[in-house]
Homo-oligomer: A and B are copies of this chain.
Amino acid sequence: MPKRDNVEMTEAEFLAAYDLSDYPTVAVTVDVVVLSILDGELVVLVVERAEHPYLGRLALPGGFVAPDESLDSAAVRELAEETGVAAHLDGDTDGVFIEQLATFGDPGRDPRGRVISVAYVAFVPVPSRDLAAGGDARAARWIPLRDLDERFAFDHGAIVAAAVERVRAKIEWATVAGWFVTEPFTIAELRGVYETVWGAEVHPQNFARKVNATEGFVVATGETHQPVGGGRPARLYRRGPAQVIEPPIRRPAVTDDVTAR
């Protein structure tokens, strides 16, 4: 414990004499909710636990924070280990999107003892099925959010629910929906992200007008893409530099459950 008379020392002397391990310490993990869209459904990347506790149950990719790395770095590292995708923080134009979600630390959330989890949420483009193969040895796979049920280990079900609410709210005012699609993309594909995340239909013409009116949301490539089965060619776009949608795209009132399509 710090001595009561530490005021009489210099700061250097204090630090030399200080032992932080006298304080209660806990294990800290970083868990990442990797969200994507596959076949018109919002999916989350999960691993099947190969060890106790919760052997055989689903869990979020994650792990303990190394002594010398920041929380953000740990999240990026875990994401890379599980998906093989290089991430950059908070809206870099490369890689994928990842940001801190919330911290979960109820005593008893982990039967092994006091472990608090700093949760992150990541948005990655429609996965080619072999994306998970780029990860580590654990069997990572995508599962749809509608059949989560009670199959999660720890409190990971609550963490996923918080991530879903985050993405549903955030695409209203931020341009992050672009991280769910591969470049180049059509306006219809981008609209599909909103429809899947919200579980509601979005008016096609009004959506296109809004996206094009938002400076820097998307940038036209000049190329077009031919819809399968005929139809007028659709213009192709890339993600633009804008971070904020002003005014926002309001989400229609939904009566869905939080895990519904």
- Chain A residues with CB under 8 Å of chain B are 2, 6-7, 9, 11, 14-15, 18, 20, 23-28, 50-53, 55, 64-71, 100, 102-103, 105-107, 111-116, 118, 247, 250
Q: Told that A24-B66, A70-B107 touch, could you supply 7 new A-B pairs with CB distance under 8 A?
A: A15-B52, A23-B64, A28-B116, A67-B107, A71-B106, A103-B103, A116-B118
Most chain B CB within 10 A, of A25, A70, A102, is at A25
Chain A binding surface SS class? loop
Residues of B contacting A50 in the complex (Cβ-Cβ under 8 angstroms): 7
Given known A23-B27, A28-B25, A118-B105, contact A52–B100 (CB-CB < 8 A): no
Instruction: Sort A-B residue pairs by CB-CB distance and give the 8 closest, nearest first.
Output: A14-B52, A25-B25, A20-B113, A71-B105, A103-B103, A70-B106, A23-B27, A11-B52
Q: Is the CB of A20 within 8 A of B115?
A: yes
Q: Select A114's contact among B15, B67, B107, beta carbons within 8 Å.
A: B67
Nearest CB in chain B to that of A99: its residue: B102
A67 to B113, CA, bound (A): 10
Q: Can you show 5 pairs from A to B with CB atoms below 8 A apart?
A: A6-B51, A18-B113, A23-B64, A67-B107, A103-B103
